[in-house]
Structure formats: structure tokens, C-alpha cells
Amino acid sequence: MSILTRASRNVLYDLGRTLKLLTHNRVGFVGLLGLIWFILLTFAGPSLVPLSQESSMTEIYQPPSLAHPLGTDFQGRDIWAQIVHGGKDVLIVACITGLISTTIAVILGSLSAVLAGIFDSFIMWLTDIWLTIPHFPVLAVLAAFVKLDNVWLLAFILSFLSWPTLARAVRAQVLSLKQRDYVEAARALDLGTRHIIFSEILPNMMSYLAISLVFSMTSAIYAQVALVYLGLVPFATNNWGVMLSLAWTRGAIYYRDALLYIMAPVMAIALFQLSLVWLTRSLEEVFNPRLRTSV
Amino acid sequence: MSAITALRNLPNTASGRAIRLGRRLVANYVLRRLIKALITIWLVVTATFFIIRLMPGSPVEIYIQEQMSLYGMSYDDARAQASAMFGIGLDRPVLFQYFDYMGNLLRFDMGTSYKSFGTPVISMVAKFLPWTLFSVGLSLLLSFTLGMLLGMITAYRRESLLDHVLSTLGSIFSSVPNYLVAMVIIVLLGGYWRILPIAQMRGSMTPGIEPGFTPEFIGDILFHASMPVATYVLTTVGGWMLTMKSSTIATLEEDYVTAARARGLPDRRIMTAYVGRNAILPLVTQLAISVGFIVGGSALIENIFVYMGVGKLLIDSINQRDYPVMQAVFLIITVAVILANLLADLLYSRLDPRIRTGGGGEA
Amino acid sequence: MNLHPSSFILHPSEDQVVLTVDDLWVEYAARRGVVKAVRGVSFQVQRGETVALIGESGSGKTTLGLALIRLLPRTARIPRGRVRYYRAGGECDVLTLSPQELRRFRWQECAMVFQSALNALNPVLRVADHFRDTAQAHGSLDGAEAQERARELLRLVQLEPDRVLRAYPHELSGGMRQRVLIAMGLLLAPQIIILDEPTTALDILTQRAVIDVLRNLRQELEFSLIFISHDLSLAAELADRVATMYAGAIVEIGDVYEIFEQPRHPYTRGLIHAVPTVTGDLEQLSSIPGSPPDLIDLPPGCKFALRCPYVQARCRQEEPVLEMVSPGHFTACHNWKQIDEH
């Protein structure tokens, strides 16, 4: 059996075990449900709910009704439809960022732990420096110079900011696993670095990687929405961040009728973040048995 | 071979003594951290310089182009003006420009603002910086103290109703982006329910009041800072609480706590000096990260609350393409965070004697 | 299994007894069931004597020690038994003391000193702070007195007071920490000191130093010592009486010379023969086959039966009670008469 098949079998087994543990924890289960709901909403929803771009001056800031479950915005457009259509960008960027930064973090972090020596010191020094620099100002300044109109470019830059924290955590995990017996055995049998990483260490870190992935997603969402809100990212489509920005600048503070227009994206983003974070709570329990409350 | 045994084996000559002194300095935790902070600052300063100067579409080039197209200046004139604007001698080779730049920085000369023509950047920074320091500092203090206390309480009263309520609330507020919390405060409490007088709370102080240590002034600045501070505290206290809780739980299981009870020490003493003092250590290491996060978030929070701090200044300068200000504020913010990290590291070494003697691991 | 404490009186005069443990049971609540860590233990400690509790890990010896000062974890409970403590002027049942009284009892009357390998000292406090905390907690010594006594005790355990008092725990070696703990134990002049594994995790030279210190202390000061260990040779050096424990019960107890010369329980015998001597031949070395029983699901009859070379049918059905071999020497074995060294 090749290394990859064996590794993927371990991964699947681990995922199955993880799912079971996830549903066992109440908070985690709610988080999982929330995540599924949002994925359905933003990817399946648009085909069910039509989005109209026309403005209707007679329907500005209408209260919720059957036709407009969340009311209308400053141009009379349906808010609910905007919410349904507006999550895609956010989720896609979050996913891509999460994947990129987790991949970089895993590769550099585990190599750093396994190879040790100068490579390790260098990577650690790099992450150290990176961690002492405040991230959002860097992003904001970068956005001033680089046109972040491309989803991939945005994701790449965002992931560039979050991989150091993850890499450190991955390295710590790998270091602790490195001491375990089965790794010592593999090393004694001279099975090679690649085998050690993929077949012995990684499968045991799957849940941990899942947590890291989710966390990088949450920070990507934070940064992305913030950049859009501040107007530092030129936006073409209407997404939650854009809704936020428009609602704010159109004076949602002053018009009481505009409450829903601003609260809708706020709640959408907040609930999505919550779902992600709650999902990790149960994953955390997997690693910190002290936090477990029952058997 | 530990530093101590290595020290002993050196001959007692002048060079031997020098090497001993050198080794002891290197082993000194405080010094190591200080040097690391200085190197990081230098790196950031250098990187900022090169980005501003050398990146394609660099602000200097853009400025020069603008001056040429808008005002019909010649390249040389435009460049000379840019030199004055950015405080860099543009007609000299890059390396000399770099030295000029560094030299200026050391003299606190950061050029003049682009938009507010002629205003030295340093004076703008000096006007905005204290507000950020005040609000962020106050928030950190409140959040840390509250989080520490609540963390210990929830650890001692594990699984109680209080524990569940606090943990859930803390988790919710920590997960939601802080700027959203800020918006909700304004929109709901201010705009919709009209509980807070947000119009008056705008800005960092009410114009007209004399600055000074008077209750009137202090009351006023607290009034204006209350919303930003509330936002920072609400969104960070949960994290502190959770860390302190798990740290306390772990510490309660330590042998020296059992041994302290065996010695008949009163519960109060055990809670403060044996559990508390040890459980707080992981929090202090988190302090450094927290500073960076709050300061980073200040760019947004201050914007939302129209609070006159450097965060707002940064975003304004970015939106206005006021490069000298942008550059300076970015530098200030970054240096402030690095220094705060250094302070946190030093604080940790004060609290944990194992770190001080150089044999302990990195914090 | 109820053993009458009167069976254990070594000397006729009652006022020499400082501690009486009577039919003590300790249980832990675990996921799989109830762990019976201590099962019906009874013994007495006289004034000034040294009793060694010897057993493998899991025999219940540390639990027994913790129970004597009620320092058991929350999952533990004491369903039966009494622990009576005697002093000039009164006696009390430790198990029924109020929290306030218990706090005063601990360290002042009975001090339990843990292993140095455990971090029994608070890493952020200096040694002097530990002494001060202890003195202040009991209020019987004022600041200066406490300082003086601490220095005296540290000298008695062969440590340099000035250097040690100023140090943090991580700056001291394992042996030094153990001696600091012992000195601290004596600070309030308790009648009983319980030492839990005093020499485990120390190298052989440091072990020697600690043993010498203990011997010296016993001569200089008056206190009863209970020490808990798996190391039988320690008992030979320091103890007046030895009790071996197996699966939560005392299986043999008696005068140290008698026990070593003629053990009357297969387990004790096994322990003695497992220790190599400098002059002995390798053939005489033997180890006890098998492993200790599951304390949740204990087998009927004698708990040592599965590993016993003298086992018979009766052993598997009937758990043996402590029988007298000679005055002061008791063993819990049906076939003790068959065990003969000579």
C-alpha cells in the first residue's frame, strides 16, 4: 500500500472519529449546524432567491414583510436577497485563505520541527518577528499600494499574514509527537523524513489542523470585511462587507428604519464567525482533555 | 553544558573575564529581549523605507508623476519637492537616501504632511498618539484584570451556572469581530434605542475643556473613551477569562498546591500566592499578542467611533493617499507594539524566576 | 475485615501511643467502578518510633498516608474507619475534625513531606517565603523565632541556611530540595512526620546523604516517623517496625529485625529476596512473578494468591486475617508456618 493511500485511510478514520466527537459536544454541534446552514445559504440560496438590482424609490427602508423578509435598503432593494447572495465572496476568500495558510503552515511548521537546526531557528525567528507586528495596519497599508480586486490575490495576501501563528502551533505539535514511541521506531527503521511526516505524524494531527484551518478562516473574514468596510478594497459585487459599508455611510446610525439594513450583514457575519468558533470548541476538547466535562 | 559550568572553566585572565562577562550578558534574558526588539524595529523601519521608495507604484513615484501632470512641473522640480515632502534626498544614491531617512528618524523628523501642506508629521502624530495610548492602555488594564478575576472564579466554581453563563458570553463576544460590536453599540444603543448620547460622545474630548488633571477633564475624556474602551474590553475579556480558567485548573492540580494544603496554609494564601501567581503566567505571555491585536483593531474602532487616535489617522491618511503621514503612523504603531511586547516579556521575567537565570526556556 | 487494634499494642503503657489507625477504608470513584485503595488497615504508632510502610506502587501506601491528614482528592471517600491521634492533654479523631481544626492539625501535629521529585515547592517563591508562610499559617512562632528555627533545622539537615533561604526551588538540586522539605516538616515540631518516598528519584550518593540526615534527626529530635516507600533496604536502615502492604491491606507487620531475619509472608519474603546484596550470589536473586490485582475488581480470597509460591486451595477462597506470629509480629497468610528461611 502506498504511503498516500495509507495516509488517506488514516485521515478518513481520524475525520470520522472527529465528526463523532464534534457531535458529542453541544456547542460544537451547534457550530457545525450553523456552518452547514451558511454554506447552504450562500451557495444554494442564490439559485432559489432572485436578486434584483433595480432601485425603487418608493420602497426605501421598508419594514419586514412577506415580500421582503428583512425589509429593503436605501435604494428599495430586498435585503434578504442581498444577504443570500452576499456571502459567497466572503466564504470563498475565507476558504482559500484558510487552505493556503494552513498548507504553508503545515509544511514549514513540520519541516521546521523535523529538520531542526538552522532551518528551524530561521523559521522561528521569522515567525517571532512577524508576531510582534500588528497585522491589520500592515494589511491596510498594503491595500493602499496593491489593487486587491482579485479574490485569489486577496486570499494570498491574507494567508501570508496568518501562517506564522499556525506554523508555530504546528511545529509545537509535531515536536511533541516527534518524541512519541512510534515515531522513534519509524526513525530507527530509517523510513525517511517524508514517510515520517505523512504516515506517522500528520494523521495524528488532523483534528488539530482542522482547528487551525477554522481559525485562519475567522481571521480572514475579520480582515476581509474590515478592508471592504474601510473602502480599501475595490468591490464589484455586493457582499456582506459592502452592505456594511454602504449601510454605515448612508447613515444607518441616524435612520431608525435603516436598522435592519445594517444589522442584517452584522448578524450574518457575526453568526458565521460564531459557528466557526463554536465548531472549534469541541475540537479543542479533543486536545485538552482537562476541558472535557464528561467521559 | 550550562552557562554556569562553562563560566567556571575559563582562566582568570583579562580575556577570560571578558568572555565570562560576554557570556553572562548573552544569557541575560532581559538583554536578549531588548536586542531582539531593537532588531525588529530596525527591520520594520528599513522595510518601510524600501517599500515606500522602491516598490512599483511607490508613493514617491506616484507623487512625482502627479506633480508633473497636475502642475506641469519638470521631473527635477517634482523630485526636489518630493524630497522635501518625504524627507529623503532623492537625487542621491539609494543607500544615502536610506541613511538620510534613518538620520531624520532619529531626530524625529518624519517629513511634512501631503494633504495638510506644511504640517510636520511628527506634530500630527503627537496630537493623535496620546488618545490611542490612553484608550488602549485603559482597555488592556480593565480587560486583563477582569478576565483574570473571572477566570479564577470560573475555575474554582467549575460547572456552576455562573461558569456556564460567563463562558458562553465570553465566547460569543470574543468570536464576533470587534468592529461589529462597535457598530452594534452605536446603531442599537445610540441610534435605535437612544440610550447613549452618541452625538456628544464623538471624538476624544469635548472641545473647549482645558486639559489638565482636573476631575472635569478626566471625566470628559473618560466619557468620550467609554465606548471604544467598552468595545475593546468586551471583545477581549472572554479570551483572558478562558485562558486564566484553564491555567488555574491546571495549577490547582500541581503538587505544590497539595503540599501547601498539607502545610495547613489558609485557603486565601494558597489562592493568591500559590495558584494565582502561577496561573497568571500564561496570561502574561498572551499579553504581547493581545496588544498587537488591540492596536491593530484600533484602526477600525477609532474610525467607527470617530475617536482621534493614531488608528483613525492611519486610515484617513491611507484614504487620502497622504504618504508621509501613512508611513510615519505605520511606523509608530508598529514600534509601539514591539515595545509593548518587550514590556510584557520583561514583566514575565519579573514574575517567573525560572526565566531570569538564563537556564529557563523561552517565554 | 475488622482487626481489633488491641492486638497491636507493643508496649503495655497506653500513653506511649501517638496514632491509632482502626479499620481504615479508602475508596476512589473511577469510570469503571470503585477503586478500593485501602482496605481495612489497622496499626499503631508509638512515640518516637519509626514505622516503614513498604509496598509496590498501587499497594495503597500513599493513599494511606494522604488519608491520615485527609488530603485525598475530591473523588476519594472514607467509608469506614477511625484515625485517632493522641497528645499530652487529649486525643481526637482526625477524620471528624472540622476544616479549621484540620488546618491546625496539619503540619503542627502531623506533617506529610512529599517526594522532592514532585514540585512540592512553589516555583515563584523563595525557600524563605515557604518557611514564613508555614510559620504564619499556624501563628505559634513569631517572625524572628521562626527564622531562627528554620536556620537551625537547615543546618541540621546539612544545608547552608543563607544560601538556601534566598534560593528559588529550581536553583536547588533534588537532594537539597528533599532536605529543605524535611527541615520544613520539622519547623513546628510535630509529633508525627510522614515521609512519602523520601529517597526515590535521588541518585545513590544523595540517597545516602538523606538517610544519614534522617538518622541524625531521629537522634537529635523526638518525633515519630512514618515513611512510605517501595524500597525495603530503606526500612532496614531506618525503621523500628516494618509493615508491608499489598492490594490495599497490611499483609505483615513487625519488628524490623524479626521481619528481615524471618519474614512470615510470601510477599515480604519475595521483596527481601528481590534486593541484591553486595556479597550475595546471583542465584539467590528472585523477582515476584505476575502483577498486582485490579483494585476495582478484586478476586476473592487472598489477593496475593496468583503470585504466591506457597498458594493452596484455601488461599483462593478465604482471605487471610492478620495472625500473631510472636508478640508484635503479625502476618496475614494461611501458610505462614511453612515459610522458613533456615
Q: In three state form, how does the secondary structure of chain B look? A: CCHHHHHHCCCCCHHHHHHHHHHHHHHCHHHHHHHHHHHHHHHHHHHHHHHHHHCCCCHHHHHHHHHHHHHCCCHHHHHHHHHHHHCCCCCCCHHHHHHHHHHHHHCCCCCECCCCCCCEHHHHHHHHHHHHHHHHHHHHHHHHHHHHHHHHHHHHCCCCHHHHHHHHHHHHHHHCCHHHHHHHHHHHHHHHCCCCCHHHHCCCCCCCCCCCCCHHHHHHHHHHHHHHHHHHHHHHHHHHHHHHHHHHHHHHCCHHHHHHHHCCCCHHHHHHHHHHHHHCHHHHHHHHHHHHHHHHHHHHHHHHHCCCCHHHHHHHHHHCCCHHHHHHHHHHHHHHHHHHHHHHHHHHHHHCHHHHCCCCCCC
Residue A234: CB atoms within 10 Å = 10
Question: Which residues, numbered 286 to 325 in chain B, qualify as contacts with chain A under a Cβ-Cβ cut-off of 8 Å?
Answer: 288-289, 292-293, 295-297, 299-300, 303, 314-315, 318-319, 321
Cell of B293: 491585536
In B, minimum Cα distance to A27 occurs at B168
Q: Which residues of C touch B256 (CB under 8 A)?
A: 119-123
Kindly report the average pLDDT of chain B as a whole number: 81
Q: How much is the pTM?
A: 0.81
Q: Which residues of B touch A143 (CB under 8 A)?
A: 318
Q: What is the pLDDT of residues C72-108, one digit of tens each?
A: 988 899 999 999 998 877 888 999 999 989 998 999 9
Cell of B147: 478576565
A250 close to B (CB below 8 A): no
Which segments in chain C show pLDDT lower than 50?
1-13
Identify the three-state secondary structure at position A73. Answer: coil
Q: What is the pLDDT of residues B238-258, one digit of tens each?
A: 989 988 998 999 999 899 999
Tally B–C CB contacts below 8 A.
Answer: 76
Nearest to C106 among B256, B264, B352 (CB): B264
Residues whose CB falls within 8 Å of the CB of residue B245, separated by 6 or more in sequence, listed in order: B151, B152, B154, B155, B167
Contact B187 A278 (CB under 8 A): no
Q: Say what the pLDDT of residue A192 is.
A: 67
Residue with cell 452605536: B186
Greater pLDDT, A52 or B185: B185
Contact B255 C137 (CB under 8 A): no
Strand C110-113 versus strand C192-196 pairing type? parallel
B51 close to A (CB below 8 A): yes
Cα–Cα distance for residue pair B201/B199, rounded to 1 Å: 6
Report the alpha-carbon angle C195-C200-C201, nearest 5: 130
Sheet harboring C17-29: ordered strands across?
Answer: C34-46, C17-29, C76-87, C90-93
Residues whose CB falls within 8 Å of the CB of residue A246, separated by 6 or more in sequence, listed in order: A73, A74
In B, minimum Cα distance to C186 occurs at B263
- Report, in angstroms and rounded to the nearest whole number, the Rg of chain B calculated over CA atoms: 26
Residue with cell 460622545: B201
Identify the three-state secondary structure at position C206. Answer: helix
Nearest to A276 by CA among A107, A18, A27: A27
Tally A–B CB contacts below 8 A.
Answer: 126
Start-to-end CA distance of chain A, whole Å, equals 36
Residues whose CB falls within 8 Å of the CB of residue A190, separated by 6 or more in sequence, listed in order: none
Q: State the amino acid at position C87 in one-letter form.
A: R
Nearest to B246 among A132, A136, A288 (CB): A288
Residue C201: CB atoms within 10 Å = 14
Nearest to C119 among B256, B273, B357 (CB): B256
Cell of A221: 473574514
Q: Which residues of A touch B333 (CB under 8 A)?
A: 134, 137
Nearest to B263 among C106, C168, C171 (CB): C106
The arithmetic mean of pLDDT across residues B100-117, rounded, is: 75
Q: Say what the pLDDT of residue C183 is.
A: 93
Cα–Cα distance for residue pair C1/C171, rounded to 1 Å: 48
Q: Could you tell me if A268 and A83 are in contact, meaning their C-beta atoms sit under 8 angstroms apart?
A: yes
In B, minimum Cα distance to C137 occurs at B265
Q: What is the pLDDT of residues A54-74, one digit of tens each?
A: 777 776 777 777 777 777 777
Q: What is the pLDDT of residues B279-309, one digit of tens each?
A: 998 888 888 778 888 888 898 999 999 899 9
One-character DSSP codes across C132-186: HHHHHHH-SS-HHHHHHHHHHHHHHTT--HHHHHH--GGGS-HHHHHHHHHHHHT
Which segments in chain A show pLDDT lower than 70?
1, 18-19, 21-23, 59, 181-183, 186-187, 191-204, 206-207, 236, 252, 283-295
Q: Say what the pLDDT of residue C64 is.
A: 93
Q: Could you tell me if C82 and C93 are in contact, meaning their C-beta atoms sit under 8 angstroms apart?
A: yes
Residue with cell 534574558: B29
Chain C: which residues have CB within 8 Å of chain B?
Answer: 69, 71, 103-108, 111-112, 114, 118-125, 129, 133-134, 137-138, 168, 170-171, 184
Contact A256 B330 (CB under 8 A): no
A262 close to B (CB below 8 A): yes
Of the residues B249, B253, B256, B268, the best mutation for testing chain C's interface (the one with the most C CB atoms within 10 Å of its CB) is B256
Residue B3 has pLDDT above 80, yes or no: no
Contact B297 A136 (CB under 8 A): yes
The arithmetic mean of pLDDT across residues B152-170, rounded, is: 89
Sign of the alpha-carbon dihedral angle for B11, B16, B19, B24: positive
Residue A93: CB atoms within 10 Å = 24
Chains touching chain C at 3 or more Cβ pairs under 8 angstroms? B
The partner residues of C229 in beta bridges, in order of sequence, read C54
Residues whose CB falls within 8 Å of the CB of residue B158, separated by 6 or more in sequence, listed in order: B249
Of the residues C124, C138, C170, the best mutation for testing chain B's interface (the one with the most B CB atoms within 10 Å of its CB) is C124
Residue with cell 506470629: C325
Cell of B41: 524595529
Quick one: how far is CA A283 from the chain centroid? 15
Cα–Cα distance for residue pair C160/C163, rounded to 1 Å: 6
Residues whose CB falls within 8 Å of the CB of residue B354, separated by 6 or more in sequence, listed in order: B360, C123, C168, C170
Q: Say what the pLDDT of residue B2 is.
A: 46
Q: Give the number of residues written for chain A.
A: 295
Q: Which residues of B touch C120 (CB under 8 A)?
A: 255-256, 258-259
Residue B242: CB atoms within 10 Å = 22
Contact B255 C184 (CB under 8 A): no
Q: Could you tell me if B303 and B311 are in contact, meaning their C-beta atoms sit under 8 angstroms apart?
A: yes
Nearest to B264 among C103, C118, C129 (CB): C103
Buried b (16+ CB within 10 A) or exposed e, C110-147: bbbbbbbebbbbbbbbbbbebbbbbbebbeebeeeebb
A289 close to B (CB below 8 A): no
Q: CA of B21 to nearest chain A CA: how many angstroms apart?
A: 25
Question: Beta strands of chain C (E only): which ranges?
Answer: 17-29, 34-46, 50-54, 76-87, 90-93, 110-113, 192-196, 224-229, 241-246, 249-255, 323-326, 329-331
In C, minimum Cα distance to B276 occurs at C124
Nearest to C246 by CA among C1, C78, C56: C56
Q: Which residues of B touch A250 (CB under 8 A)?
A: none
Q: Which residues of B touch C171 (CB under 8 A)?
A: 357
